[in-house]
Amino acid sequence: MCDHEVKTNCFEYIDSQMPPVPLELNVNGESIYELIDPAMTLLDFLRVSLKLFGTKEGCREGECGACTVIMNGRAVPSCLILAIEAQGADIITVEGLSKNGELSILQQEFIKEDGLQCGFCTPGMLMSAKALLDRNPNPTVDEVKEAIAGNLCRCTGYKSIINAILSAAKREREALSNG
């Protein structure tokens, strides 16, 4: 339980006051160099330093999946990773999914299949789904369920989310075979 004063937001980032350390990494195709608080999580680095608010802050305990990003090809909870552990890494956040203002096929299918309501879980769901489809373009229902097992949704139930991912997989395969 948080012991902050009532007026303080428990999720507000508080600098540890330790000497800053250099961090170099790539986020959504862009090279980033910053001096950071060594105690800062990757989630805070993305939201507080880079202002990439698409990555959501839920439990901060690795339980909800709202903060999921792709790090070196794997879906990871950014609240459990120190930013400094991402030294040299390639990170993709939900902001990196659309290209030239056009939503990715996966994003389009989430909308079409009603895979979101409040949308809070959606960035994390999308990143877990993208990591799956990047390594397995033709997943089974069970493989989709396993890939999003760490992502909680309180709104839609999971059926429409699973349908959206399967349908995106199909469209991506078709797009690939049509050149």
Q: Which residues bind ligand FES (CB under 6 A)?
A: 57-60, 62-67, 77, 79, 116-122, 153-156
DSSP result, 149-164? TT---SSS-SHHHHHH
CB of 129 to ligand FES, least distance (A): 13
Nearer to ligand FES, 137 or 161 (CB): 161
To ligand FES, the closest distance from the beta carbon of 144 in angstroms equals 16
Nearer to ligand FES, 10 or 176 (CB): 10
Helices (H), 91-137: 105-112, 122-135
Name the residue nearer to ligand FES (CB basis): 91 or 121.
121
Rounded-to-integer distance, Cα 151 and Cα 77, Å:
10
Min dist CB 177 to ligand FES, Å, is 32
110 close to 130: Cβ distance less than 8 angstroms: no
**Nearest distance, CB of residue 5 and ligand FES, angstroms:** 23
- Provide the residue type at 105 as one letter: I
The Cβ of residue 96 has, within 10 Å, a number of other Cβ atoms equal to: 19
